[in-house]
Amino acid sequence: MYKAKAYSAASATSPLTADTIERRDLTENDVQIEILFCGICHSDLHTVRDEWSSFMSTVYPVVPGHEIVGRVTEVGSAVTKFKPDDIVGVGCMVDSDGTCPQCKAGFEQFCPNVTLTYNSPDKHLGRVTYGGYSESVVVDQRFVLRVPPNLDLAGVAPLLCAGITTYSPLRYHGVTKGKKVGVVGLGGLGHMGVKFAHALGAHVVVFTTSPDKKEDALRLGADEVVVSRNADEMQKHAGSFDFILDTVAAVHDINAYLNLLSRDGNITLVGAPPKPLEVAAFSLIMGRRNLSGSNIGGIAETQEMLDFCGEHNITADVEVIPIQKVNEAYDRLLKSDVKYRFSIDMSSMKSESPR
Ligand code: NAP
Ligand code: ZN
């Protein structure tokens, strides 16, 4: 084992502070990565504050971070896919059983034995896994992704979660030219959803609670912007959408969006509010509408998404921060005050002398 600097939270009410953690020595299939940037996902905040305890409790201390970009420093003896100095990414998963029907079909994210990047049982060290708010990480090569050489790395980090989480359902639901697509919430996930839906050729409408994000939404690729608190503006789009991607992190009225779907239209939840949403039966039965969900994407699809970003020059719009500003960033995330993803410059970890 070796020691690495990290930021951890000691409880649901503690701030993140400098810490020292242990990482495993490389096994033959492992890749050791010096972390350059790590995005801040709203899931990090939900987990640190134990907001998802009804589904998955947080084990403390927690080291969040699953939007990792870094440089390979060392590889195990059986590693064939990577070599030192390669620029690579790691997303929300670091292991799965590889043998179940889900894994065999390329859906590692639905494997009953998936190991998430943080807060998941760690078969190597016997504690829970620790994520990317750290200077270094060791990951099995099967869960390490190639990063296209032409992209800005601070903006690549968020692709590893926000990118794949929006790309996957847009592809699965056949978003393409001629389709009318809504994106609800212009945060980290939402702004990637807009970029992808636009790149796929759809007519994109953004729903936001923040009127000041209107111009940005158009610049990011939206064709129209609706301030969702304005009932008249909402009504104009009633019954007209083929597909809506809902990225909202808080409890909200999903019926208002179900009513905007056309016959057989689909709304997919990727946002994961801590409390259940109320669904009115009539919102679904009128128009035979569909409500579904989606969770990140498999490893092969994540690589496909990164390659798509390389071809189309797509990265996240980021505000780069030092790790010392992470608690302030969490407070701003709760106020929907991020344009549009925080990306932590991990070189800032060097000045820390952890307890
Ligand atoms: P984020 O950056 O905070 O964006 C969420 C956006 O939702 C905000 O920017 C805001 O957009 C809107 N919003 C916030 N509160 C609202 C409210 N009360 N009513 C209506 N709209 C509101 O968060 P994120 O990182 O994109 O994550 C979004 C959600 O997806 C989180 O719950 C996260 O845990 C989840 N997630 C799921 C997956 C998955 O695989 N399914 C993966 C990653 C994240 P406006 O200002 O435009 O209204
Ligand atoms: Zn995430």
> Does ligand 1 come within 6 angstroms of the Cβ of 184?
no
Nearest to 354 by CA among 23, 6, 1, 2: 6
> Distance between CA atoms of 30 and 81, rounded to whole angstroms?
11
> Does ligand 1 come within 6 angstroms of the Cβ of 272?
yes
Nearest to 171 by CA among 301, 16, 30: 301
> What would the mean pLDDT of 286-297 be, rounded to a whole number?
98
Confidence of residue 353 (pLDDT cuts 50, 70, 90): confident
Round the average pLDDT of the chain to a whole number and report it: 97
User: Is the four-CA dihedral 51, 48, 103, 291 of positive or negative sign?
Assistant: positive
* DSSP structural state of residue 62: B
Q: What is the pLDDT of residues 6-65, one digit of tens each?
A: 999 999 999 999 999 999 999 999 999 999 999 999 999 999 999 999 999 999 999 999
- What integer pLDDT is reported at residue 92 of this predicted model? 98
> Does ligand 1 come within 6 angstroms of the Cβ of 46?
yes
> Distance between CA atoms of 155 and 301, rounded to whole angstroms?
19
Q: Whose CA is nearest to atom 15 of ligand 1?
A: 250
For 2, the enclosing helix (H) or strand (E) is strand 2-9
- Reduced to 3 states, what is the DSSP secondary structure of residue 355? coil
* Main-chain phi, psi angles of 256, to 5 degrees: -60, -30
Answer yes or no: is pLDDT of 1 > 80: yes
Q: Whose CA is nearest to atom 19 of ligand 1?
A: 252
What is the residue type of 247?
T
Q: What is the pLDDT of residues 133-181, one digit of tens each?
A: 999 999 999 999 999 999 999 999 999 999 999 999 999 999 999 999 9
Answer yes or no: is pLDDT of 84 > 90: yes
Q: Whose CA is nearest to atom 18 of ligand 1?
A: 250
Contact residues for 136 (Cβ-Cβ < 8 A; gap 6+): 2, 4, 23, 32, 33, 34, 35, 73
Answer yes or no: is pLDDT of 101 > 80: yes
> Distance between CA atoms of 248 and 185, rounded to whole angstroms?
5
Q: What angle do CA 267, 273, 277 make, to 5 degrees?
A: 60
Ligand 1 atom closest to Cα of 186?
47
Answer yes or no: is pLDDT of 354 > 80: no
Answer yes or no: is pLDDT of 295 > 70: yes
> Distance between CA atoms of 6 and 21, rounded to whole angstroms?
7
Confidence of residue 355 (pLDDT cuts 50, 70, 90): low
> Distance between CA atoms of 60 and 57, rounded to whole angstroms?
10
Residue 10 to residues 15, 18, 93, 322, Cα–Cα distance (Å): 8, 11, 23, 20
Ligand 1 atom closest to Cα of 209?
48
> Does ligand 1 come within 6 angstroms of the Cβ of 247?
yes
Pocket test for ligand 1, best of 247, 255, 295, 342 (most atoms within 8 A of CB): 247
Instruction: Give all domains of the chain, ordered by start, each with its CATH number.
Output: 2-161+297-351 (3.90.180.10), 163-293 (3.40.50.720)
Q: 38 CA to middle of ligand 1, Å?
A: 18
> Does ligand 1 come within 6 angstroms of the Cβ of 203?
no
257 contacts 246 by C-beta, under 8 angstroms: yes
- What integer pLDDT is reported at residue 195 of this predicted model? 98
Q: 17 CA to middle of ligand 2, Å?
A: 20
Q: 335 CA to middle of ligand 1, Å?
A: 11
Q: 116 CA to middle of ligand 2, Å?
A: 11
- What integer pLDDT is reported at residue 257 of this predicted model? 98
- What is the number of the ligand closest to the CA of 227? 1
Q: 271 CA to middle of ligand 2, Å?
A: 10
- What integer pLDDT is reported at residue 349 of this predicted model? 96
